Amino acid sequence: MIRLNNITLSFPDGDTRVTAVDNVSLTAHPGTVTGITGPSGSGKSSLLAVAATLIHPDAGQVLIDDIDATRLNPGEATELRRNKIGIVFQQSNLIPSLTAREQLTVMNELGAQHSRRHRADALARADVLLDAVRLTAHSDKRPHQLSGGQRQRINIARALMNDPSVLLIDEPTSALDQERGASIIDLILRLTDELNTSTLLVTHDLVHLPRMHGVVHLVDGRLVDTVATA
């Protein structure tokens, strides 16, 4: 579960500061997808970065499975992120020289020795996830041999490699046409259900919102509306 309590975040802007996120609270339960929407510049990506523990907020708490990430030192926060949070960034950052399977197994090589899986376990996990995202037949292909939708599926599978309880996804459909976008949303809904993740999904694509379990709407960094949908 992820709970954001009264998050405020500002950035320096000349002599003043711009408030990117203004006193926002939300909770996402396991097995649910919460959409975060709002106009450009409304603070969606900033809020996701705070949830990911990549940016420390000016005020507020980030509770991941009841651990307050804002009280951890940088090393502890990195460990928490590695073990409990899967992140799919807006920009795909697949490594050009690696196959689809290696994009996943390389996750296991990063981070502290004690938290790594045995190589055979990592391979087995990668194959389960490649199957879950329907890419088994493409396991040995490199990014340039795959479509945009297939690359996005690998990004999602990779974020799930360490079995996170929280899945954070920024604009997963922005580079895809409507049909491929809808199929990525299908995938995220299914994996959230099967793997019981608490998923936050940033999107400005309103067509997908009715399919989510809840939606929060940001304007100028403030939460203006919370809607339970499904």
Ligand X SMILES: Nc1ncnc2c1ncn2[C@@H]1O[C@H](COP(=O)(O)OP(=O)(O)OP(=O)(O)O)[C@@H](O)[C@H]1O
Are residues 7 and 173 in contact, defined by beta-carbon separation less than 8 angstroms?
no
> Which of 24, 33, 34, 43 is in the footprint of ligand X by CB under 6 A?
43
DSSP3 helix / strand / coil % (the chain, rounded to 5): 40, 30, 30
* Subset of residues 102 to 121 that bind ligand X, contact rule: CB under 6 A: none
Please work out the total of residues on this chain that contact ligand X, with binding judged by CB under 6 A: 12
Tell me if 38 contacts ligand X by CB under 6 A: yes
How far apart are CB 20 and ligand X at their closest, in Å?
A: 3
Please report which helix (H) or strand (E) contains residue 181, including its range.
Answer: helix 178-195
Which residues, numbered 161-200, are part of the site for ligand X (CB under 6 A)?
A: none
Side by side, which strands form the sheet with 67-68? 16-28, 2-13, 59-64, 67-68
- Give the helix/strand (H/E) hosting 3: strand 2-13
Report 195-214 residues binding ligand X (CB under 6 A): 204
CB of 17 to ligand X, least distance (A): 9
Please identify, using beta-carbon distances, which residue of 115 and 226 lies nearer to ligand X: 226
User: In the block, which residue shows the tokens 């990430």?
Assistant: 69
To 10 degrees, what angle do helices 100-109 and 119-132 make? 140
CB-wise, 21 or 133, nearer to ligand X? 21
Amino acid at 127: D
44 interacts with ligand X by CB under 6 A = yes
Could you say whether residue 217 binds ligand X (CB under 6 A)? no
Nearer to ligand X, 41 or 60 (CB): 41
Which positions lie near ligand X, rule CB under 6 A?
11, 18, 20, 38, 40-46, 204
